[in-house]
Structure 1
């Protein structure tokens, strides 16, 4: 590892191309800089400076030393900041997993507010579907899950609270054949038409999907947004979160159809492990307990934080 003075020497010679100019840049006598340069070469037992030309240059070995020393210096600086950060109760990183039911855009103001804390905590936000959300918490792929569906499973040190309720609407394209069928739609009327599903992302169990009838063909898509777009384009039918498609219902790009067997609303949960006690997690939990944010996430209600 180079000292700050040695690193400054390499940078000054590389930038100026002259011992004299490097000395002026460093505020030292040329003889002092020349002696320091030879000491550095002796320390590494390598020729670091090419003195054969009019312009003093770093040799390939000198360039490697300058580049790697600068990188290591930055790494040490980052490590120092991270150690201080953790010592003050902030996590090094916080991994948040949201369920596909939630729109990422609704979390952007929260991320912006968290950034304003200048905590240094690295955020990672990913998403899962159905059982995959709970599984991410169980398997250590999440520190915090937001919008998990179904009842909280049995899990050591699990803590949770209800975020809110999501209502469903059976919505299809006005160009789909079912759009002209009298309501309420019966099961036998739905079965001939393909259902669009976002498959369960669980790695450990067989993928599941809701709202699919026995014998009904399916189109599996990668996200809720893809499901909404597919149904808008009349590629299939299915249940959609009302808050995600309210604008499309108002514009007529999707139409709501009453179904004989309605789908019950889903309660969404926020969950974490009780042995995680960092300040970043505590801050996020405080925000998610705010009823205004909960409504924005689960009902699409736009309100000021």
Structure 2
């Protein structure tokens, strides 16, 4: 009923609004095209075109079939290449999860453009998660590779690890914040009256990481690191931010730093991938990180320079 030639004929008539023009473009006779479309309408039991002496237009059913046929034709045309890709060990779908700390719009777009050009028949999907949410997507979701998994040790035997380095943290606030004019070292009693700005862990299955928060202190949760930074710049609250993210604002005086009794330790981050789901594409992405390819440098903007890499 809907063989390759019938689909092409139907689409061409719909696009040209003419049997004769479609026939000319397809190098067939108008009678052959008309017969094929009439046979299709008989097979589906529905009129697909409204015909007048001057024009041909689609019925509502015809409009629906046109959308479907375009998808089918695209799929039929891509099948040979997709099958060769599967035979060559190239993944049909690659899902990547990126830690909110390392997510970079420009680098993400550049990587996707590169991957699409190199592997045009693979579907790519990128998501952004926070703290243990990265591991959650890798262990319990459908992601094959994570950029910025927390820690330098694998949580599963089937997950390989490549250490990326550390993100250093610094306690900051706006120079207009009430605590800004006080002592250089702040006590819990001094900080407790003021909100802590935090980004919530997105893990659903693993134990969520507890953000910096004092007992009895108000917490304001925001969805991402950029929102947290803006809250600090506006003097809404206090808390830790990556040192490299803050440095331009510290230099300009838009943020200041204070010492506190219990500083936050650096966060170790890693590239992690499932060795039971990896194929040529995942391995290719891993090699980009192993060789410090310029394509991925934007993901490492907040990583301390010179951090040693190790592979597990």
The answer, yes or no, to whether TM exceeds 0.5 is: yes
Structure 1 unmatched ranges of 5 or more: none
Larger displacement relative to structure 2 (99-108 or 87-96): 99-108
Paired position in structure 1 for 2:125: 124
Paired position in structure 2 for 1:210: 211
Equivalent residue runs for 1:257-268 within 5 Å? 257-268=258-269
Does the 8 Å contact 1:49/1:56 carry over to 2? no
Matching of residue 298 in structure 1 with residue 297 in structure 2: no
1:191–1:37 Cα change, 3 Å: closer
Paired position in structure 1 for 2:310: none
Q: Secondary structure at the match of 2:281?
A: helix
Paired position in structure 2 for 1:160: 161
Distance 2:274 2:45 in 1: 53
Distance 2:161 2:90 in 1: 21
Structure 2 unmatched ranges of 5 or more: 306-312
Alignment deviations for residues 185-223 of structure 1 (CA, whole Å, 9 cap, x no partner): 233322232211111212135644332222222111111
Shift of 1:171: 0.9
Distance 1:225 1:102 in 2: 12
Aligned positions, number: 300
Distance 1:98 1:63 in 2: 40
Calculate the TM-score normalised by the size of structure 2: 0.81
Root mean square deviation of aligned Cα: 3.0
1:135–1:15 Cα change, 3 Å: closer
Distance 1:13 1:153 in 2: 57
Paired position in structure 1 for 2:249: 248
Paired position in structure 2 for 1:85: 85
Does the 8 Å contact 2:249/2:255 carry over to 1? yes
Calculate the TM-score normalised by the size of structure 1: 0.83
Matching of residue 219 in structure 1 with residue 220 in structure 2: yes
Does the 8 Å contact 1:146/1:269 carry over to 2? yes
Q: Secondary structure at the match of 1:179?
A: coil
